[in-house]
Each structure stands twice: as C-alpha cells, then as structure tokens.
Amino acid sequence: MADAIPTGNSETILVCIRGNSGAGKSSISRALRRRHGRGCALVEQDHLRRILLRERDKPGGLAPALIAQNVRFCLDHGYHVILEGIMHAARYRNMLTGLRDAHRGRTLFVYLDVSWSETLRRHQTRPQAQEFTPDTMFGVYAEHDVLGWPGELVLPETTSMEQAIDLIATAAGLPLTGRDTDLLPAVP
C-alpha cells in the first residue's frame, strides 16, 4: 500500500487544518504560508476536488488520493505543507492516517471548532456567500468533527485569526519568518 511508504524527512512539517465551511481554514492557512515564506506548500482540498477534478465530495471519489499525492510530492521535495479543507473524518480519516503515519517529520492536525450559528454568520461575510445557500452548507456541516487523535489541536470559535496563527505555528514548530514580498516574482 502506498501509504506505508515513508514521506518527507525529519525536517519537514505537515500541518492539516480542518473544519466546516466558513470556519477560517483558508484564511489561516494562507496567512501561515505567507508568513513562513518560501519553502511552504499550500494544498487546498477545494481547489483539487472542486476545481481540478470538479468532483462532489462522496465516498469513493478521487479527491483523497489526489490530495495525498500532492502532499507527499511536496514533502518528498523538502517543502513544509499546509493542507486545508473540510475533510470530514468519516471520508478522509484513512487518507489522513496514512499521511500521519508515513510522515518522517513533525505533523500537526488542527480542527477549527465552529458552531452552526457562527458558521452561518461568517459565511454571510465571505465573497463566495452567493455560491452556497445556508441549506447547502447545513447539508455538509458536521458538528465537532474532530479526529480524536493525541496532540490534535482543537481551536474554539472564539479564537481570533492571529491567535490561531500563533498557536498553530508554535505547536507545529513552523517558523514565521517570511514577508508578503517573498511571494512576489523577482524583478529581472
């Protein structure tokens, strides 16, 4: 089985940020990556599943395998990886377990624990608020969908974005030394 093959090295860091739609996963993940600087890959479940594959999140889909392949590729090339997405435990636990068990470096799983009422409130402030109705969101909402693993960092909805960034970076050992300009193209 491919999951048994070790990935990354003792220096690579894997951070997996999970939570319901509107919990702040993308904002926190993008800020962590930007503040780390070069050498940190961002793997977004939505991009791979919805954009690349145009696949619904159903049992038996290709998304979990594609996500794992992207994470492994980046880790094997010495990148730290921030993986973010809803990734319901019922469908993604096997893939996440495989990554956790195969990674040679530090791994941190984070769950953003946000109530339904707060999820709905936050969603209404997002640019993509018109793409998903509250009914659609409620259909994929999973209350307190933690993995229950030792060391899993569960952040309550009262955690600010700055607090979340600091807590995650500290728990993962991810240095935040980058600047926003690190992601700009070099001037010839």
- What is the end-to-end Cα distance of the chain in Å, rounded? 45
CATH number at residue 43: 3.40.50.300
**Residue 153: closest CA among 13, 19, 10, 6:** 19
Range of 22's domain?
Answer: 2-174
Residue 42, phi then psi, degrees to nearest 5: -115, 120
pLDDT tens-digit profile of 4-27?
Answer: 899 999 999 999 999 998 899 999
Mean pLDDT of all residues in 69-83:
98
Domain assignment present for 184: no
Reported as a pLDDT band with limits 50, 70 and 90, residue 1 is very low
| Residue 167 or residue 21, greater confidence | 167
Task: Answer whether residue 182 is part of any domain.
Answer: no
Decide: 21 and 132 in contact? Cβ < 8 Å.
yes
User: How many domains does the chain fold into?
Assistant: 1
Specify the pLDDT at position 123.
Answer: 76
Q: What is the mean pLDDT of residues 33-60?
A: 93
Cβ-based neighbours of 43, under 8 Å, separated by 6 or more? 67, 70, 71, 74, 81, 82, 83, 84
In a domain, residue 72? The reply is yes
Asked if the structure places residue 95 within a domain, the reply is yes
Asked whether residue 93 is domain-assigned, the answer is yes
